[in-house]
Structure 1
Amino acid sequence: MTDFDDVLFPIGISIGSSAGPEFSTEVTEVASGFEQRNRNWAGARRRFNVAPGVRTLADHEALLAFFHARAGRARGFRLRDWSDWKSCSVRAAPSPTDQLLGTGDGARQFFQLIKTYGSGPSAHIRRITRPVAGSVRVALGGIEQASGFTVAHDTGLVIFDSPVPAGVAVSAGFAFDVPARFDTDRLEASAPVPGVMRFDEIPIVEIRE
């Protein structure tokens, strides 16, 4: 997207942020007391509050510079969600067999990076569009590939030089960032003591790509 800057939100601030997925569900209670629920979104959207990560005057200055460069809500950027930023557990290193991307059919060359939460019919599949450069490991039939593919770091597509043979499983492991934007056009800080700046909330929301 043209209004997206492929830069990472300051790591030192994002480490202290709060984060989590959000769904949109309409709940209607009928006269009998039973509920009717309507799920509006197929997938979750992440929301963040990075205010807790602003601890020092240097953090404040870095945030101000970043906020001005993005013009508030106008431009998107990469954000590291430290609670969920790998194809595997955040405590482990990505493996080329972490996530099944699909199966070759003898003609297909493009496979989207995804992360699957849960299993069975209720599994939630998340498209990963902003992998971390140099982190993507790919396997064909469980065997890691050193070459023969490229990764688009602005879409999350794995592009093979030639079609993947029919019946061969394609898998990958990776680290990734969240495409995001500020959810405010205004920053308000207080200075409880000289040299210290405090924010109550700095909301950031995931961008769907």
Structure 2
Amino acid sequence: MAFHDVRFPTDLSFGAVGGPERRTEIVTLRNGFEERSTPWADSLRRFDAGLGMRSLDDMGRLVAFFEERRGPLHGFRWKDWSDFKSARPSAAPGHEDQVLGTGDGETARFALTKTYGAGETAYVRRIVKPVAGSVLVSVGGQPMREGVHWDLEGAEVVLRAPAEDGAVVAAGFEFDLPVRFDADRIAVSVATFEAGEVPEVPVVELRL
């Protein structure tokens, strides 16, 4: 299997339904109290791509994309319209949206992350598929220029000179999810599709 660095058509993913999933193991004790734990450190996102189909031409594009990926065999990029950027949904990404780390005079490599919440309960999500050309970086509050002060290597910001001790390294960006189809087939009837019944096309996030 491989990962194809292509994005599922965004006009088709726009109507998809889905979001984050977590796995929680709950044991009810004899006294009625519960013990809860999770084997997952990170959430996993699932979607139904079938709900974005609006015409037979859309269905044709879906089938072609499915065949190119050989069904679930190869992964691809997916735009989660409910959560695809470092800023709040109504704002454009900015240089200081997400704190990536603090300079120590030696470290020059910082992974892209997005933080949900604040304080001890905050969840820090690793971003693995940033959108090329969308990443903005600042060091100590000062915007840095890509190709001059920093470079993007995969999902890491690599400063050409280490950040000074105490300087906050921050970034803003858009990002995609690495996903794959979660079924070996697409089943659709033209008659039922034209009558408003859409196929189920499950898509699941990949851990990379």
TM-score range with shorter-chain normalisation? over 0.9
Q: Which amino acid aligns with 1:122?
A: T
- Specify the alignment match of 2:22 in structure 1: 23
> Equivalent residue of 1:177, what SS?
strand
Pair 1:108–1:186, CA change in 2 (3 A): same
Contact 2:102 2:168 in 1 (8 A): yes
Please give the residue correspondences for 1:189-208 in structure 2 after superposition, counting only pairs within 5 Å.
189-192=188-191, 198-208=197-207
1:90 deviates by 1.8
d(CA) in 2 for partners of 1:101, 1:165: 14
d(CA) in 1 for partners of 2:193, 2:164: 65
- Which of 159-168 and 170-179 deviates more? 159-168
1:190 deviates by 2.0
- Specify the alignment match of 1:151 in structure 2: 152
**After TM superposition, what 4+ stretches of structure 1 lie above 4 angstroms from structure 2?**
193-198
- Specify the alignment match of 1:176 in structure 2: 175
TM-score (norm 1): 0.94
- Specify the alignment match of 1:117 in structure 2: 116
Q: Does 2:58 align with 1:59?
A: yes
How well do the aligned residues superpose, as a CA RMSD in angstroms? 1.5
Where does structure 2 lack aligned partners over 5 or more consecutive residues?
none
Q: Which amino acid aligns with 1:140?
A: V
d(CA) in 2 for partners of 1:197, 1:89: 34
Task: Using the aligned pairs only, state the percent identity.
Answer: 45
Q: Does 2:78 align with 1:79?
A: yes
Aligned residues: 206
Contact 1:102 1:169 in 2 (8 A): yes
d(CA) in 2 for partners of 1:74, 1:194: 26
- Specify the alignment match of 1:49 in structure 2: 48
d(CA) in 2 for partners of 1:6, 1:135: 16
1:194 deviates by 8.2
TM-score (norm 2): 0.94
1:192 deviates by 2.5
Contact 2:95 2:143 in 1 (8 A): yes
Pair 1:31–1:193, CA change in 2 (3 A): closer
d(CA) in 2 for partners of 1:201, 1:193: 13
d(CA) in 2 for partners of 1:49, 1:193: 18
1:106 deviates by 1.1
Q: What per-residue deviation string (whole Å, max 9, x for no partner) do you get for residues 175-197 of structure 1?
A: 00001111111111122268678
> Equivalent residue of 1:192, what SS?
helix
